[in-house]
Structure 1
Amino acid sequence: MTLPRFSDALGHGMSDKRIDILRGVGRTGSISQAAREAAVSYKAAWQAIATLTNLAGVPLVERSVGGAGGGGAALTEEGRQLLTLAEAHEAARRAVQSGGHASAAMARLSIRTSMRNQLPATVSALERNGRVVRVCMQLPDGDGLAARITQESAELLGLAEGMSAIALCKATAVRVERIDSAAPPQGNQLSGTVARIARDIDSGDEVVVALAGGLQVVGFATGGSGLRARQRVTAVVDESAVVIALPG
């Protein structure tokens, strides 16, 4: 018997529309209606259900085809259990988070990920190009940072200008280059100074870059880079390597 992994599914919590879509299916018996109520496409609603199902490890929605009503969808027992837990989870979170800076800090700390770079940001613009959305963000120090995500992901997150977000990327996706590098950097460019460096000729020098405003970014420079503490550098990361998370 497969045990549900509800804690994994609740990792999305109420920070995006996945739980809302599941709740809509339970209320209306229709995936398309749940999609309309959540203001996302039918495809995005199916993606939401598939993601939650993968995370939970058990079916959450079952479909009925044909019949007098033309078919529809219903929550499984596990789907109903997940919604009950989601409500309790959100109530507990509201009770703990009393507002202000402490609330924002707790929301950021609730995210568990292997990505070492986690930067608080504010969504400043959404640029749509076909099926891809370029999400422009502003860091607290004023630097700009952009991410490229699918239209469905943007819908499910409910992204809008002015929203608080967290920009994440792996340290291995960040290239640290000298300011006077001959090759013009491509992608996001964050200027700062070398705070710490761990030299490794084989895997590359791991560099901690101090940005304005107290933020830090971890990345890698070519092995034997010769970089030194307090040297001005640029941390470069491709827009497609930036992941967006929303505080709970």
Structure 2
Amino acid sequence: MATRQHPPSQATGLPRALADASADKRLDVLRHVAAGCSISQAARQVGISYKAAWQALDTLSNLSGEPLVERIVGGVGGGGARITAEGLRLLALAAELARARQQVLARFAGGAIGDGGLGLRTSMRNQLRCRVLRCAPLAPGDPMVAVTLATPGGVELVSSITQESADLLGLAPGLAVLVLCKATAVTVALAGAGAAAGRLWGRIERLSPGAGQDEVVLALDGGGHWVGFAPHPFHGGVGDAAVASVLPAALVIGLAG
């Protein structure tokens, strides 16, 4: 099967495949395939499931817009994959970026560089460093897992993600992660107004009235800020205690820098 060749000056979509926070394990799968491993062997080496290994390769290919592997039909185990020229180019680009990153970190040794996902740009205004407490399936054999997280203020939050995503991120108790959430997915209420326990508690720092909803910025207990919305008119004021509620499906987990 022929693969497309790009001259060095022609831009490709390969850099997009390296912009995702969970790219490292995906690249590990691709590296093992490049070394001649089968998909099942690559999955065992990386410590993920066979299904997650294929998802990793499919995601990298989708992000890059290039076929990074060729599927091989038949053979032991029912087939596998062989890396393409574009896959090798992606690995070379990843290695070059890793070297460049180390050079930059060496120049700025002792500074606060790399502390907070500096390479990540997102529309999600809520970003909070947390620590993984537990990661378990919602039910035996369920493809979804509940990830229990501890905030800097000691509050427990729960995020629901797929098992494959948890495997690719390498989620385990004690791991530092970045929890992200769209402000529009957060509901803010005054403390004691019926909000459930275990949410994010803090004091109102800023208010921005809107036509149907008011934007509320909370200074969280334990540090950090969280943005959400309350039905207009919101009767809280700056300095009042309030609580932010968010559904587990709205919490996104990323690897902290």
Query: Is TM more than 0.5 here?
Result: yes
5+ residue gaps, structure 1: none
Q: Distance in 1 between matches of 2:225 and 2:21?
A: 27
One of 166, 187, 190 as aligned partner of 2:178: 166
The alpha-carbon deviation at position 51 of structure 1 amounts to: 0.8
Structure 1 pair 136–94 and aligned structure 2 pair: CA distance change class (3 A): farther
The alpha-carbon deviation at position 143 of structure 1 amounts to: 2.2
Q: Distance in 2 between matches of 1:63 and 1:54?
A: 15
Structure 1 pair 173–100 and aligned structure 2 pair: CA distance change class (3 A): farther
1:24 matches 2:32: yes
Structure 1 pair 30–180 and aligned structure 2 pair: CA distance change class (3 A): same
Deviations 1:188-246 (A, max 9, x none): 511111100100132x0011011123300010001111221111100111111100000
Structure 1 pair 64–15 and aligned structure 2 pair: CA distance change class (3 A): closer
1:140 matches 2:148: no
What is the aligned length? 244
Corresponding position of 1:54: 62
Instruction: Find the residue that maps to 1:17 and give its secondary structure.
Output: helix
One of 193, 200, 217 as aligned partner of 2:226: 217
Q: Distance in 1 between matches of 2:171 and 2:110?
A: 22
5+ residue gaps, structure 2: none
Corresponding position of 1:245: 254
Corresponding position of 1:43: 51
- The 5 A counterparts of 1:65-214 are 65-66=73-74, 71-97=79-105, 102-105=112-115, 107-129=116-138, 130-182=142-194, 184-185=195-196, 189-202=199-212, 204-214=213-223
- Tell me, yes or no, if the aligned pair for 1:166 and 1:245 is still in contact at 8 Å: yes
- Tell me, yes or no, if the aligned pair for 1:25 and 1:74 is still in contact at 8 Å: yes
Indicate the larger mover: 136-145 or 48-57.
Answer: 136-145
- Tell me, yes or no, if the aligned pair for 2:207 and 2:216 is still in contact at 8 Å: yes
- Tell me, yes or no, if the aligned pair for 1:29 and 1:72 is still in contact at 8 Å: no
Q: Distance in 2 between matches of 1:230 and 1:29?
A: 59
Indicate the larger mover: 107-116 or 224-233.
Answer: 107-116
The alpha-carbon deviation at position 97 of structure 1 amounts to: 3.0
Over the matched positions of the two proteins, sequence identity in percent amounts to: 45
The alpha-carbon deviation at position 125 of structure 1 amounts to: 1.7
Structure 1 pair 240–16 and aligned structure 2 pair: CA distance change class (3 A): farther
- Tell me, yes or no, if the aligned pair for 2:203 and 2:242 is still in contact at 8 Å: yes
Instruction: Find the residue that maps to 1:35 and give its secondary structure.
Output: helix
Instruction: Find the residue that maps to 2:244 and give its secondary structure.
Output: strand
- Tell me, yes or no, if the aligned pair for 1:13 and 1:86 is still in contact at 8 Å: no
Q: Which amino acid aligns with 2:220?
A: L
Instruction: Find the residue that maps to 1:213 and give its secondary structure.
Output: coil
Structure 1 pair 94–158 and aligned structure 2 pair: CA distance change class (3 A): same
The alpha-carbon deviation at position 179 of structure 1 amounts to: 1.2
Q: Distance in 2 between matches of 1:149 and 1:68?
A: 32
